Structure 1
C-alpha cells in the first residue's frame, strides 16, 4: 500500500515558517556581527568567496539533480528567473567586490528573493534537496544585499533605481520571446506563480505585469528614502 504524499507546498506551514525564521535570524546575526566581519583582522575575502562558491554549488547541484531525474527542460529549468540572475550577480559581487551591480541586487534581487521566500513557487518539501536549495539561494541573495551594506558600506542610490528599472525592461522582451519559443514562464511573464503571490493582487494577465512595475518602482523609492534617512541620521551622529 502506497503512502499518501503531499504534492503541494502549503504557504505558512511549519516548514515554511521555519524557513522564514531562518532568514530573520540570519539577518539578525549578520547585523550583530557586522563590526566583527568588518574588522581588518578578519579574513573577509575568504568568507565572501566561500559564500559565493556555496551559492554556485547549490545552483549547479540543483540542475544536476534535475538532469539525473530526467526533469530538466528548456521550458522550466533555464536559470532565467529574476532570482537566478540575481544569484549570479550576487556571486560576482561577493567575488570581486565591485559596486556596479549592487543597486540591482539591493532592489530587484532582494525584492524578488524576499517575495520568493514569503510566497515560494515550489511543490517540494523539507528535507528534499530542492527545498533546501530554494531557500538557501534566496536567503543568500538577501543576505548578500545586507552584508554589502552593513559590512562593506555600500548604499543604494536613486540612480540605481532608474538603472534597475531600465535593465529589467530591457530584459523582459527577450524573456517574453523566449517564453513563447520554449513554452516557458520565466519571470512569470506568461502566468502567475502556482502557489499564489503578490501578483494575485495586481490584476489579470497581462495587466499584472504593468501593475508590478508600478508597485516595484514605488517600493524601490520607499526603501531608498528609508535608507537615505538612515544615512542622514548616521551622518548627524558622527
Structure 2
C-alpha cells in the first residue's frame, strides 16, 4: 500500500468512523490534560520550539507530497485557507510568544480548527500521511492556544475581537484577488463548497460572505466571554468567601 500516494481505496476516510471518533477523543483528552497539568507545564520553552519546528517540517512535507503526486496547483495549494493561516500564526506564536499573534490564533483555532476536526474535508484515512498531517496540525493550533491561555496566562480582551475582525478583512481583498486570477476558491469566497455545509444556511453568493462576517463577530464574542480575564473584584470576592468557609 502507498502511504505517500493518493489512492483513497487503500486508506479511505469516513466521517465519524472509529478512527475519526478516536481522533476527536484524543483532541479532547489533550485539552483536558493541558488544563489539569497547567501548573506543571510552566517551563516548556524547549518543547515550544520543538513543536514549532515539527509543524514547519510537516507542512513542508505536505507540499512535497502534493508535488510528488502532481496535485500541487496555485488555485488550491497556497496557504490561504483559514486553517493554513492559523498554522502559520501557531508557528509564529510558539517561536515568539507575541500576544497579538495569540489574540488572532485564539479565534481561528477555536472557531476554525475545531470545526475542521469535527467535520474534516478529507479523503485519506489512518494511517496515511495526509490524515496524520491534517489532524496533527489542527491539534497543534487548538492545544497551543489553550496552553498559552491556561499555562502562560494569556487572555483575550474585547479589543481582540476587533483585531481578528480587522485582520481577516485585511486578508479578504488579497484572497478575492487570488481567487480571481487563479480560479481558486480559498475560504469559499468565490462559491460554496459542493458538499453540504454551514454556508447553505447563510444565503446565496456573495451575500453569505456578509453573513459570515456577522457570525464571526458573534462567535468571537462568545470565545472572549469564556476565556477573558476575570475581573479583580470577582477574584477578591472569591478570596473573601474562602476566608469565611
Q: Is the structural similarity TM-score above 0.5?
A: yes
- In the alignment, does 2:106 pair up with 1:102? no
Superposition RMSD on alpha carbons, in Å? 2.1
Choose 23-32 or 196-205, whichever is displaced more: 196-205
Q: Which segments of 5 or more consecutive residues in structure 1 lack a partner in the other structure?
A: none
Cα distance in structure 2, aligned partners of 1:161 and 1:16? 31
Distance 1:6-1:185 versus aligned 2 partners, 3 A rule:
farther
Corresponding residue for 2:147? Answer: 147
The structure whose Rg is larger is: 2
Corresponding residue for 1:33? Answer: 37
Residue by residue, what CA displacement relative to the aligned partner does 1:132-179 show, whole Å, maximum 9, x if unpaired? 101110111111111100111100111011011011111111101101
- In the alignment, does 2:176 pair up with 1:176? yes
Distance 1:227-1:235 versus aligned 2 partners, 3 A rule:
farther
**Secondary structure of 2:100's aligned partner:** coil
Matches within 5 A, 1:1-238: 5=9, 9-38=13-42, 42=43, 44-228=44-228, 231-232=230-231, 233-234=234-235, 236-238=237-239
TM-score by length of 1: 0.89
Deviation at 1:190, TM superposition (A): 1.7
Cα contact 1:81–1:186 (8 A) shared by 2: yes
Residue by residue, what CA displacement relative to the aligned partner does 1:159-208 show, whole Å, maximum 9, x if unpaired? 01101101111111110110111111111212234444332332232222
Corresponding residue for 2:4? Answer: none
TM-score by length of 2: 0.87
Corresponding residue for 2:3? Answer: none
Distance 1:66-1:36 versus aligned 2 partners, 3 A rule:
same
Cα contact 1:115–1:197 (8 A) shared by 2: no
Cα distance in structure 2, aligned partners of 1:128 and 1:82? 23
Cα contact 1:9–1:195 (8 A) shared by 2: no
Q: Which segments of 5 or more consecutive residues in structure 2 lack a partner in the other structure?
A: 1-6, 240-245
Question: When the two structures are aligned, how many residues end up with a matched partner?
Answer: 231
Distance 1:28-1:21 versus aligned 2 partners, 3 A rule:
same
Cα distance in structure 1, aligned partners of 2:170 and 2:116? 22
Deviation at 1:236, TM superposition (A): 4.1
Cα contact 1:86–1:109 (8 A) shared by 2: yes
Deviation at 1:4, TM superposition (A): 9.2
Deviation at 1:89, TM superposition (A): 1.0
Distance 1:167-1:4 versus aligned 2 partners, 3 A rule:
closer
Distance 1:65-1:154 versus aligned 2 partners, 3 A rule:
same
Choose 194-203 or 52-61, whichever is displaced more: 194-203
Cα distance in structure 2, aligned partners of 1:13 and 1:197? 19
